[in-house]
Structure 1
Amino acid sequence: MHADPIDQARRLVRSRFPGALSVVLAGSTATGRATASSDLDLAVLIEDGGVTYRETIRFEERVVELFVHTPTGLLELFAADVAARRAVLQSMYASGLVLVDADGEAGRARALAEADLRAGPPALEPETVDTKRYGLTDALDDLADASDPIERLAVAGYVVNTAADLLCDHHRAWIGGGKWLPRRLLEADPRRGAALLEGHHHLCRSGDPAVLISAALKVLDLVGGPLREGYRRTWPGTIGPAAAGVWRSRPDTPPARAGRDVQA
Protein backbone atom coordinates (compact mmCIF):
# COMPACT_ATOMS: atom_id res chain seq x y z
CA MET A 1 0.00 0.00 0.00
CA HIS A 2 1.33 3.40 -0.99
CA ALA A 3 1.63 6.18 1.58
CA ASP A 4 -0.90 8.98 1.40
CA PRO A 5 0.90 11.87 -0.37
CA ILE A 6 -0.78 14.57 1.72
CA ASP A 7 0.30 12.86 4.93
CA GLN A 8 3.80 12.57 3.48
CA ALA A 9 3.81 16.29 2.72
CA ARG A 10 2.77 17.10 6.29
CA ARG A 11 5.53 14.92 7.72
CA LEU A 12 8.12 16.54 5.48
CA VAL A 13 7.02 20.02 6.54
CA ARG A 14 7.16 19.13 10.23
CA SER A 15 10.67 17.73 9.91
CA ARG A 16 12.23 20.23 7.50
CA PHE A 17 10.30 23.49 7.88
CA PRO A 18 9.01 23.66 11.46
CA GLY A 19 9.13 27.47 11.47
CA ALA A 20 7.54 28.09 8.07
CA LEU A 21 5.15 31.04 7.75
CA SER A 22 3.05 29.11 5.26
CA VAL A 23 3.20 25.95 3.20
CA VAL A 24 1.00 25.19 0.21
CA LEU A 25 0.80 21.80 -1.47
CA ALA A 26 0.12 22.21 -5.19
CA GLY A 27 0.03 20.09 -8.34
CA SER A 28 -1.80 16.83 -8.93
CA THR A 29 -1.72 15.87 -5.26
CA ALA A 30 -3.68 18.97 -4.27
CA THR A 31 -6.27 18.40 -7.01
CA GLY A 32 -6.82 14.71 -6.26
CA ARG A 33 -5.18 13.48 -9.48
CA ALA A 34 -2.01 12.08 -7.93
CA THR A 35 -0.71 8.65 -8.85
CA ALA A 36 1.69 6.45 -6.94
CA SER A 37 4.60 8.09 -8.78
CA SER A 38 3.40 11.70 -8.63
CA ASP A 39 5.80 14.13 -7.02
CA LEU A 40 4.95 16.67 -4.32
CA ASP A 41 5.05 20.38 -5.18
CA LEU A 42 5.46 22.52 -2.07
CA ALA A 43 5.52 26.31 -1.91
CA VAL A 44 7.17 27.23 1.39
CA LEU A 45 7.18 30.78 2.78
CA ILE A 46 9.91 31.47 5.35
CA GLU A 47 11.01 34.54 7.29
CA ASP A 48 12.88 37.40 5.59
CA GLY A 49 16.58 36.87 6.05
CA GLY A 50 16.38 33.33 4.75
CA VAL A 51 17.29 32.13 1.27
CA THR A 52 14.89 31.93 -1.68
CA TYR A 53 15.57 28.79 -3.69
CA ARG A 54 14.17 25.83 -5.57
CA GLU A 55 15.32 22.31 -4.76
CA THR A 56 14.39 18.75 -5.71
CA ILE A 57 14.70 16.12 -3.00
CA ARG A 58 13.40 12.63 -2.28
CA PHE A 59 11.36 12.06 0.86
CA GLU A 60 10.04 8.65 1.85
CA GLU A 61 10.72 7.39 -1.68
CA ARG A 62 8.74 10.21 -3.29
CA VAL A 63 10.24 13.05 -5.36
CA VAL A 64 9.53 16.48 -3.89
CA GLU A 65 9.84 19.84 -5.64
CA LEU A 66 10.47 22.59 -3.09
CA PHE A 67 9.76 26.22 -3.92
CA VAL A 68 11.14 28.05 -0.88
CA HIS A 69 10.98 31.84 -0.59
CA THR A 70 10.97 34.76 1.78
CA PRO A 71 8.15 37.35 1.56
CA THR A 72 10.48 39.60 -0.44
CA GLY A 73 11.54 36.68 -2.62
CA LEU A 74 7.93 35.73 -3.23
CA LEU A 75 7.12 39.21 -4.55
CA GLU A 76 10.14 39.02 -6.87
CA LEU A 77 9.15 35.56 -8.11
CA PHE A 78 5.58 36.67 -8.70
CA ALA A 79 6.88 39.61 -10.75
CA ALA A 80 9.19 37.34 -12.74
CA ASP A 81 6.35 34.90 -13.45
CA VAL A 82 4.14 37.75 -14.68
CA ALA A 83 6.91 39.02 -16.94
CA ALA A 84 7.36 35.50 -18.34
CA ARG A 85 3.55 35.27 -18.85
CA ARG A 86 3.45 31.90 -17.03
CA ALA A 87 2.24 32.57 -13.45
CA VAL A 88 3.44 29.18 -12.24
CA LEU A 89 3.86 30.17 -8.61
CA GLN A 90 0.63 32.19 -8.63
CA SER A 91 -1.27 29.10 -9.78
CA MET A 92 0.31 27.05 -7.01
CA TYR A 93 -0.84 29.50 -4.35
CA ALA A 94 -4.26 30.09 -5.87
CA SER A 95 -5.26 26.44 -6.24
CA GLY A 96 -3.07 24.60 -3.75
CA LEU A 97 -3.92 22.97 -0.44
CA VAL A 98 -2.80 25.02 2.57
CA LEU A 99 -0.82 22.92 5.04
CA VAL A 100 0.58 25.74 7.21
CA ASP A 101 -0.82 29.24 7.68
CA ALA A 102 0.87 31.24 10.43
CA ASP A 103 -1.00 34.48 11.15
CA GLY A 104 -2.78 34.45 7.79
CA GLU A 105 0.40 34.46 5.67
CA ALA A 106 -0.90 31.82 3.27
CA GLY A 107 -4.10 33.81 2.80
CA ARG A 108 -2.16 36.99 2.01
CA ALA A 109 0.03 35.17 -0.51
CA ARG A 110 -3.04 33.60 -2.11
CA ALA A 111 -4.73 37.01 -2.42
CA LEU A 112 -1.68 38.42 -4.22
CA ALA A 113 -1.56 35.38 -6.50
CA GLU A 114 -5.24 35.63 -7.36
CA ALA A 115 -4.89 39.34 -8.12
CA ASP A 116 -2.10 38.58 -10.61
CA LEU A 117 -4.14 35.81 -12.22
CA ARG A 118 -7.18 38.06 -12.61
CA ALA A 119 -5.09 40.85 -14.15
CA GLY A 120 -3.63 38.48 -16.71
CA PRO A 121 -0.22 38.57 -18.38
CA PRO A 122 1.26 41.63 -20.08
CA ALA A 123 0.72 41.91 -23.82
CA LEU A 124 3.57 41.08 -26.16
CA GLU A 125 5.18 44.09 -27.79
CA PRO A 126 4.02 44.66 -31.40
CA GLU A 127 7.56 43.96 -32.66
CA THR A 128 7.56 40.64 -30.83
CA VAL A 129 4.20 39.70 -32.31
CA ASP A 130 5.52 40.50 -35.79
CA THR A 131 8.63 38.39 -35.19
CA LYS A 132 6.47 35.46 -34.10
CA ARG A 133 4.12 35.98 -37.07
CA TYR A 134 7.09 35.92 -39.41
CA GLY A 135 8.58 32.83 -37.77
CA LEU A 136 5.26 30.99 -37.88
CA THR A 137 4.66 31.94 -41.52
CA ASP A 138 8.11 30.67 -42.46
CA ALA A 139 7.60 27.46 -40.47
CA LEU A 140 4.27 26.78 -42.17
CA ASP A 141 5.99 27.09 -45.55
CA ASP A 142 8.62 24.60 -44.35
CA LEU A 143 5.93 22.30 -43.00
CA ALA A 144 4.08 22.25 -46.30
CA ASP A 145 7.32 21.46 -48.19
CA ALA A 146 8.88 19.00 -45.72
CA SER A 147 9.54 15.53 -47.11
CA ASP A 148 11.68 14.23 -44.26
CA PRO A 149 9.36 12.87 -41.51
CA ILE A 150 11.79 13.77 -38.70
CA GLU A 151 12.14 17.34 -39.90
CA ARG A 152 8.37 17.55 -40.35
CA LEU A 153 7.81 16.62 -36.70
CA ALA A 154 10.42 19.11 -35.53
CA VAL A 155 8.83 21.94 -37.51
CA ALA A 156 5.38 20.90 -36.31
CA GLY A 157 6.49 21.28 -32.70
CA TYR A 158 7.67 24.81 -33.42
CA VAL A 159 4.40 25.61 -35.17
CA VAL A 160 2.28 24.47 -32.23
CA ASN A 161 4.37 26.36 -29.67
CA THR A 162 4.48 29.60 -31.64
CA ALA A 163 0.81 29.49 -32.62
CA ALA A 164 -0.11 28.76 -28.99
CA ASP A 165 1.96 31.73 -27.84
CA LEU A 166 0.24 34.05 -30.31
CA LEU A 167 -3.21 32.71 -29.49
CA CYS A 168 -2.70 33.09 -25.74
CA ASP A 169 -1.36 36.62 -26.23
CA HIS A 170 -4.37 37.50 -28.38
CA HIS A 171 -6.65 36.52 -25.49
CA ARG A 172 -4.28 37.93 -22.81
CA ALA A 173 -4.12 34.44 -21.37
CA TRP A 174 -1.32 32.73 -19.48
CA ILE A 175 1.00 30.41 -21.40
CA GLY A 176 2.51 27.11 -20.30
CA GLY A 177 5.13 24.57 -21.22
CA GLY A 178 5.13 20.78 -21.31
CA LYS A 179 1.82 19.32 -20.18
CA TRP A 180 0.67 22.84 -19.31
CA LEU A 181 0.84 23.99 -22.94
CA PRO A 182 -2.35 22.13 -23.98
CA ARG A 183 -4.06 22.99 -20.70
CA ARG A 184 -3.37 26.72 -21.02
CA LEU A 185 -4.16 26.65 -24.72
CA LEU A 186 -7.58 25.11 -24.17
CA GLU A 187 -8.31 27.58 -21.36
CA ALA A 188 -7.40 30.49 -23.64
CA ASP A 189 -9.45 29.38 -26.66
CA PRO A 190 -11.21 26.00 -26.49
CA ARG A 191 -12.09 25.91 -30.20
CA ARG A 192 -8.92 27.17 -31.85
CA GLY A 193 -6.72 25.60 -29.20
CA ALA A 194 -8.29 22.20 -29.74
CA ALA A 195 -7.86 22.59 -33.50
CA LEU A 196 -4.12 23.20 -33.07
CA LEU A 197 -3.71 20.22 -30.78
CA GLU A 198 -5.74 17.93 -33.00
CA GLY A 199 -3.79 19.11 -36.04
CA HIS A 200 -0.54 18.22 -34.32
CA HIS A 201 -1.90 14.87 -33.19
CA HIS A 202 -3.13 14.12 -36.71
CA LEU A 203 0.28 14.94 -38.18
CA CYS A 204 2.03 12.70 -35.65
CA ARG A 205 -0.30 9.81 -36.50
CA SER A 206 -0.47 10.18 -40.27
CA GLY A 207 2.33 12.51 -41.38
CA ASP A 208 -0.24 14.80 -42.98
CA PRO A 209 0.36 18.47 -42.03
CA ALA A 210 -2.77 19.91 -43.67
CA VAL A 211 -4.95 20.01 -40.52
CA LEU A 212 -2.23 21.68 -38.46
CA ILE A 213 -1.46 24.20 -41.19
CA SER A 214 -5.13 25.15 -41.43
CA ALA A 215 -5.42 25.58 -37.65
CA ALA A 216 -2.26 27.70 -37.44
CA LEU A 217 -3.39 29.94 -40.31
CA LYS A 218 -6.60 30.67 -38.41
CA VAL A 219 -4.47 31.83 -35.48
CA LEU A 220 -2.38 34.00 -37.78
CA ASP A 221 -5.56 35.60 -39.12
CA LEU A 222 -6.36 36.79 -35.59
CA VAL A 223 -3.06 38.65 -35.22
CA GLY A 224 -2.62 40.24 -38.63
CA GLY A 225 -2.17 37.30 -40.98
CA PRO A 226 0.94 35.68 -42.45
CA LEU A 227 3.99 37.92 -42.62
CA ARG A 228 6.71 37.60 -45.26
CA GLU A 229 7.50 40.63 -47.43
CA GLY A 230 7.78 43.79 -45.40
CA TYR A 231 9.17 42.19 -42.28
CA ARG A 232 12.24 44.01 -41.01
CA ARG A 233 14.06 43.74 -37.70
CA THR A 234 17.00 45.87 -36.60
CA TRP A 235 19.67 44.82 -34.12
CA PRO A 236 19.88 47.32 -31.24
CA GLY A 237 23.38 46.28 -30.22
CA THR A 238 24.47 45.26 -26.74
CA ILE A 239 28.27 45.52 -26.69
CA GLY A 240 29.15 49.02 -27.85
CA PRO A 241 31.81 50.69 -30.00
CA ALA A 242 34.65 48.75 -28.37
CA ALA A 243 33.44 45.65 -30.20
CA ALA A 244 34.82 46.92 -33.50
CA GLY A 245 38.31 47.09 -32.04
CA VAL A 246 38.02 43.61 -30.59
CA TRP A 247 36.84 42.26 -33.95
CA ARG A 248 39.81 43.82 -35.81
CA SER A 249 42.29 42.57 -33.23
CA ARG A 250 41.18 38.93 -33.28
CA PRO A 251 43.76 36.81 -35.11
CA ASP A 252 41.33 33.95 -35.67
CA THR A 253 38.56 35.95 -37.34
CA PRO A 254 37.52 33.83 -40.33
CA PRO A 255 37.07 35.41 -43.76
CA ALA A 256 33.53 36.09 -44.92
CA ARG A 257 32.02 33.23 -46.89
CA ALA A 258 29.40 33.51 -49.58
CA GLY A 259 26.45 31.21 -49.46
CA ARG A 260 22.69 30.97 -49.48
CA ASP A 261 22.06 28.28 -46.90
CA VAL A 262 21.92 30.20 -43.60
CA GLN A 263 21.27 28.24 -40.43
CA ALA A 264 18.49 29.74 -38.30
Structure 2
Amino acid sequence: MGDFNKLEPVKAAQKFIGNYFPYCDGALLAGSVVRGEATITSDLDIVIFDKAYRSSYRESVIEDDWPIEVFVHNLNSYKDYFKSDYKRARPSLPRMVSEGIILKDNGVIDSIKCEAKELLSKGPEKWSTEIINTKRYFITDTIDDFIGCNNRAEGIFIANTLAELVSEFVLRTNNRWIGTSKWIIRSIRDYDTSFAEQFVEAFDIFYRDGAKDDVIQLVDEILYPYGGRLFDGFSLGKK
Protein backbone atom coordinates (compact mmCIF):
# COMPACT_ATOMS: atom_id res chain seq x y z
CA MET A 1 0.00 0.00 0.00
CA GLY A 2 2.98 2.31 0.44
CA ASP A 3 1.91 3.53 3.93
CA PHE A 4 3.95 1.77 6.58
CA ASN A 5 2.11 3.50 9.43
CA LYS A 6 -1.11 1.67 8.63
CA LEU A 7 -2.11 -1.59 10.18
CA GLU A 8 -2.31 -4.51 7.78
CA PRO A 9 -5.81 -4.69 6.23
CA VAL A 10 -6.94 -7.82 8.08
CA LYS A 11 -5.62 -6.57 11.42
CA ALA A 12 -7.24 -3.17 10.90
CA ALA A 13 -10.54 -4.83 9.99
CA GLN A 14 -10.41 -7.17 12.99
CA LYS A 15 -9.70 -4.24 15.30
CA PHE A 16 -12.65 -2.34 13.82
CA ILE A 17 -14.95 -5.30 14.38
CA GLY A 18 -13.76 -5.69 17.94
CA ASN A 19 -14.36 -2.02 18.69
CA TYR A 20 -17.72 -1.49 17.00
CA PHE A 21 -19.35 -4.88 16.35
CA PRO A 22 -18.02 -7.17 19.08
CA TYR A 23 -21.25 -9.14 19.32
CA CYS A 24 -21.97 -9.59 15.61
CA ASP A 25 -22.76 -13.04 14.23
CA GLY A 26 -20.32 -12.80 11.35
CA ALA A 27 -18.03 -10.41 9.49
CA LEU A 28 -16.11 -10.43 6.21
CA LEU A 29 -13.35 -8.31 4.70
CA ALA A 30 -13.82 -7.86 0.94
CA GLY A 31 -12.81 -5.53 -1.86
CA SER A 32 -9.51 -4.72 -3.57
CA VAL A 33 -7.31 -5.53 -0.57
CA VAL A 34 -8.62 -9.10 -0.67
CA ARG A 35 -8.20 -9.44 -4.45
CA GLY A 36 -4.61 -8.15 -4.32
CA GLU A 37 -5.58 -5.06 -6.33
CA ALA A 38 -5.22 -2.42 -3.62
CA THR A 39 -3.94 1.06 -4.45
CA ILE A 40 -3.01 4.03 -2.25
CA THR A 41 -6.66 5.15 -2.27
CA SER A 42 -8.21 1.75 -1.53
CA ASP A 43 -10.54 1.34 1.41
CA LEU A 44 -11.62 -1.61 3.53
CA ASP A 45 -14.98 -3.12 2.58
CA ILE A 46 -16.39 -4.84 5.65
CA VAL A 47 -19.66 -6.80 5.62
CA ILE A 48 -21.34 -7.35 8.99
CA PHE A 49 -24.07 -9.87 9.82
CA ASP A 50 -25.84 -9.26 13.10
CA LYS A 51 -29.29 -10.54 14.02
CA ALA A 52 -29.68 -7.69 16.52
CA TYR A 53 -30.20 -5.11 13.77
CA ARG A 54 -33.72 -4.54 12.50
CA SER A 55 -32.61 -3.29 9.08
CA SER A 56 -29.52 -2.95 6.93
CA TYR A 57 -27.38 0.14 6.51
CA ARG A 58 -24.15 1.36 4.97
CA GLU A 59 -21.67 3.73 6.58
CA SER A 60 -18.28 5.27 5.76
CA VAL A 61 -15.73 5.97 8.49
CA ILE A 62 -11.99 6.42 8.95
CA GLU A 63 -10.24 4.29 11.57
CA ASP A 64 -6.48 3.88 12.03
CA ASP A 65 -5.94 5.92 8.85
CA TRP A 66 -8.04 3.44 6.87
CA PRO A 67 -11.15 4.60 5.00
CA ILE A 68 -13.73 1.93 5.79
CA GLU A 69 -17.00 1.12 4.05
CA VAL A 70 -19.13 -0.99 6.35
CA PHE A 71 -22.22 -2.84 5.11
CA VAL A 72 -24.40 -3.98 8.00
CA HIS A 73 -27.08 -6.66 7.62
CA ASN A 74 -29.18 -8.85 9.83
CA LEU A 75 -29.61 -12.50 8.93
CA ASN A 76 -32.41 -11.77 6.45
CA SER A 77 -31.84 -8.30 4.99
CA TYR A 78 -28.94 -9.39 2.81
CA LYS A 79 -31.35 -11.62 0.85
CA ASP A 80 -33.21 -8.57 -0.49
CA TYR A 81 -29.91 -7.10 -1.65
CA PHE A 82 -28.99 -10.36 -3.34
CA LYS A 83 -32.32 -10.26 -5.20
CA SER A 84 -31.89 -6.60 -6.15
CA ASP A 85 -28.34 -7.16 -7.37
CA TYR A 86 -29.54 -10.13 -9.41
CA LYS A 87 -32.26 -8.09 -11.11
CA ARG A 88 -29.92 -5.21 -11.99
CA ALA A 89 -27.18 -7.68 -13.03
CA ARG A 90 -24.61 -5.97 -10.78
CA PRO A 91 -23.77 -8.44 -8.01
CA SER A 92 -22.01 -6.07 -5.62
CA LEU A 93 -22.98 -7.72 -2.34
CA PRO A 94 -22.85 -11.34 -3.57
CA ARG A 95 -19.37 -10.68 -4.94
CA MET A 96 -18.18 -9.17 -1.65
CA VAL A 97 -19.61 -12.08 0.32
CA SER A 98 -18.21 -14.69 -2.05
CA GLU A 99 -14.66 -13.32 -2.09
CA GLY A 100 -14.60 -12.06 1.49
CA ILE A 101 -12.09 -13.17 4.10
CA ILE A 102 -13.84 -14.32 7.26
CA LEU A 103 -13.10 -12.05 10.22
CA LYS A 104 -15.65 -13.57 12.58
CA ASP A 105 -18.18 -16.38 12.31
CA ASN A 106 -20.68 -17.72 14.81
CA GLY A 107 -21.82 -20.35 12.33
CA VAL A 108 -23.67 -18.16 9.81
CA ILE A 109 -21.09 -17.36 7.14
CA ASP A 110 -20.82 -20.66 5.26
CA SER A 111 -24.48 -20.76 4.23
CA ILE A 112 -24.48 -17.09 3.19
CA LYS A 113 -21.32 -17.62 1.15
CA CYS A 114 -22.97 -20.60 -0.56
CA GLU A 115 -25.97 -18.46 -1.49
CA ALA A 116 -23.66 -15.80 -2.94
CA LYS A 117 -21.61 -18.29 -4.97
CA GLU A 118 -24.72 -20.00 -6.36
CA LEU A 119 -26.13 -16.65 -7.47
CA LEU A 120 -22.84 -15.63 -9.11
CA SER A 121 -22.46 -18.92 -10.98
CA LYS A 122 -26.08 -18.73 -12.18
CA GLY A 123 -25.52 -15.43 -13.96
CA PRO A 124 -28.11 -12.68 -14.49
CA GLU A 125 -31.57 -13.01 -15.98
CA LYS A 126 -31.56 -13.76 -19.70
CA TRP A 127 -32.61 -10.85 -21.89
CA SER A 128 -35.78 -11.29 -23.91
CA THR A 129 -35.89 -10.57 -27.64
CA GLU A 130 -37.87 -7.42 -26.84
CA ILE A 131 -35.17 -6.14 -24.50
CA ILE A 132 -32.43 -6.96 -27.02
CA ASN A 133 -34.26 -5.03 -29.74
CA THR A 134 -34.79 -2.07 -27.43
CA LYS A 135 -31.10 -2.01 -26.59
CA ARG A 136 -30.23 -2.31 -30.30
CA TYR A 137 -32.38 0.73 -30.99
CA PHE A 138 -30.70 2.87 -28.32
CA ILE A 139 -27.25 1.78 -29.46
CA THR A 140 -28.21 2.64 -33.04
CA ASP A 141 -29.46 6.07 -31.95
CA THR A 142 -26.21 6.71 -30.08
CA ILE A 143 -23.89 5.47 -32.84
CA ASP A 144 -25.75 7.69 -35.33
CA ASP A 145 -25.16 10.67 -33.02
CA PHE A 146 -21.52 9.61 -32.72
CA ILE A 147 -21.02 9.36 -36.47
CA GLY A 148 -22.70 12.68 -37.20
CA CYS A 149 -21.10 14.66 -34.38
CA ASN A 150 -18.57 17.32 -35.40
CA ASN A 151 -18.19 18.82 -31.94
CA ARG A 152 -15.22 17.35 -30.08
CA ALA A 153 -16.61 18.00 -26.59
CA GLU A 154 -20.00 16.49 -27.41
CA GLY A 155 -18.34 13.56 -29.15
CA ILE A 156 -16.45 12.61 -25.99
CA PHE A 157 -19.65 12.33 -23.98
CA ILE A 158 -21.49 10.50 -26.74
CA ALA A 159 -18.61 8.02 -26.82
CA ASN A 160 -18.90 7.58 -23.05
CA THR A 161 -22.58 6.70 -23.39
CA LEU A 162 -21.88 4.40 -26.31
CA ALA A 163 -19.18 2.53 -24.38
CA GLU A 164 -21.59 1.86 -21.51
CA LEU A 165 -24.42 0.75 -23.81
CA VAL A 166 -22.19 -1.54 -25.85
CA SER A 167 -20.48 -3.10 -22.83
CA GLU A 168 -23.87 -3.81 -21.27
CA PHE A 169 -25.14 -5.35 -24.52
CA VAL A 170 -22.15 -7.65 -24.95
CA LEU A 171 -22.20 -8.84 -21.36
CA ARG A 172 -25.94 -9.32 -20.98
CA THR A 173 -26.41 -11.12 -24.30
CA ASN A 174 -23.68 -13.51 -23.13
CA ASN A 175 -25.26 -14.09 -19.73
CA ARG A 176 -22.57 -12.14 -17.89
CA TRP A 177 -22.72 -9.71 -15.00
CA ILE A 178 -22.26 -6.03 -15.75
CA GLY A 179 -20.70 -3.23 -13.75
CA THR A 180 -20.08 0.49 -13.52
CA SER A 181 -16.91 2.55 -13.55
CA LYS A 182 -13.85 0.28 -13.23
CA TRP A 183 -16.11 -2.77 -13.06
CA ILE A 184 -17.13 -2.26 -16.69
CA ILE A 185 -13.73 -3.23 -18.05
CA ARG A 186 -13.20 -5.83 -15.31
CA SER A 187 -16.44 -7.52 -16.32
CA ILE A 188 -15.49 -7.42 -20.01
CA ARG A 189 -12.06 -8.91 -19.29
CA ASP A 190 -13.67 -11.65 -17.24
CA TYR A 191 -15.84 -12.44 -20.24
CA ASP A 192 -13.21 -12.27 -23.01
CA THR A 193 -9.72 -10.77 -22.69
CA SER A 194 -9.21 -10.48 -26.46
CA PHE A 195 -12.48 -8.64 -26.90
CA ALA A 196 -11.59 -6.40 -23.95
CA GLU A 197 -8.36 -5.37 -25.70
CA GLN A 198 -10.27 -4.61 -28.92
CA PHE A 199 -12.89 -2.65 -26.99
CA VAL A 200 -10.35 -0.52 -25.10
CA GLU A 201 -8.20 0.08 -28.18
CA ALA A 202 -11.14 1.26 -30.31
CA PHE A 203 -12.28 3.84 -27.78
CA ASP A 204 -8.72 4.80 -26.85
CA ILE A 205 -7.98 5.65 -30.49
CA PHE A 206 -11.04 7.87 -30.60
CA TYR A 207 -10.25 9.65 -27.33
CA ARG A 208 -6.64 10.12 -28.38
CA ASP A 209 -6.92 10.94 -32.09
CA GLY A 210 -10.61 11.55 -32.76
CA ALA A 211 -10.73 8.65 -35.23
CA LYS A 212 -14.14 6.94 -35.17
CA ASP A 213 -13.78 4.01 -37.58
CA ASP A 214 -12.69 1.41 -35.05
CA VAL A 215 -15.56 2.24 -32.68
CA ILE A 216 -18.09 2.10 -35.52
CA GLN A 217 -16.73 -1.23 -36.74
CA LEU A 218 -16.78 -2.63 -33.20
CA VAL A 219 -20.41 -1.65 -32.67
CA ASP A 220 -21.52 -3.10 -36.00
CA GLU A 221 -19.71 -6.39 -35.30
CA ILE A 222 -21.45 -6.65 -31.93
CA LEU A 223 -24.92 -5.91 -33.32
CA TYR A 224 -24.58 -8.07 -36.45
CA PRO A 225 -25.58 -11.45 -34.90
CA TYR A 226 -28.76 -9.81 -33.58
CA GLY A 227 -29.82 -8.16 -36.81
CA GLY A 228 -27.55 -5.13 -36.89
CA ARG A 229 -28.59 -1.57 -36.24
CA LEU A 230 -32.27 -1.02 -35.61
CA PHE A 231 -34.33 2.06 -36.42
CA ASP A 232 -36.97 1.47 -39.07
CA GLY A 233 -39.97 -0.31 -37.58
CA PHE A 234 -38.91 -0.06 -33.95
CA SER A 235 -41.82 0.65 -31.63
CA LEU A 236 -42.02 0.95 -27.87
CA GLY A 237 -45.21 1.18 -25.83
CA LYS A 238 -47.62 1.26 -28.76
CA LYS A 239 -51.08 -0.22 -28.05
Return the TM-score normalized by structure 1: 0.85
Whole-angstrom distance in 2 between the partners of 1:98 and 1:224: 47
Gaps of 5+ in 1: 237-264
1:134-149 matches, within 5 Å, as 134-149=137-152
Tell me which residue corresponds to 1:102: 106
Q: Per-residue displacement from partner, 1:184-229 (whole Å, max 9, x unpaired)?
A: 0121233333322221111111111111111111111133311010
Tell me which residue corresponds to 2:231: 228
The residue type equivalent to 1:179 in the other structure is K
Whole-angstrom distance in 1 between the partners of 2:39 and 2:160: 28
Does structure 2 retain, via aligned residues, the 8 Å contact 1:164–1:185? yes
The structure having more radius of gyration, on CA atoms, is 1
Secondary structure of 2:76 counterpart: helix
The residue type equivalent to 1:71 in the other structure is L
Tell me which residue corresponds to 2:155: 152
* Distance 1:221-1:189 versus aligned 2 partners, 3 A rule: farther
Q: Per-residue displacement from partner, 1:106-134 (whole Å, max 9, x unpaired)?
A: 11111000000111100223322212111
Residue 118 (1) aligns with residue 121 (2): yes
Tell me which residue corresponds to 1:51: 55
Q: Per-residue displacement from partner, 1:68-110 (whole Å, max 9, x unpaired)?
A: 111210111101100110111111111121111112x111111
* Cα RMSD for the two superposed structures: 1.5
Tell me which residue corresponds to 2:211: 208
1:17 shift after superposition: 0.7
Q: Percent of pairs identical after alignment?
A: 26
Residue 87 (1) aligns with residue 91 (2): yes
Tell me which residue corresponds to 1:172: 175
Whole-angstrom distance in 2 between the partners of 1:223 and 1:167: 11
Quick one: which of 184, 199, 204 aligns to 2:202?
A: 199
Gaps of 5+ in 2: none
Structure having greater relative contact order (Cα 8 Å, sep ≥ 6): 2
The residue type equivalent to 2:189 in the other structure is L
Whole-angstrom distance in 2 between the partners of 1:215 and 1:194: 12
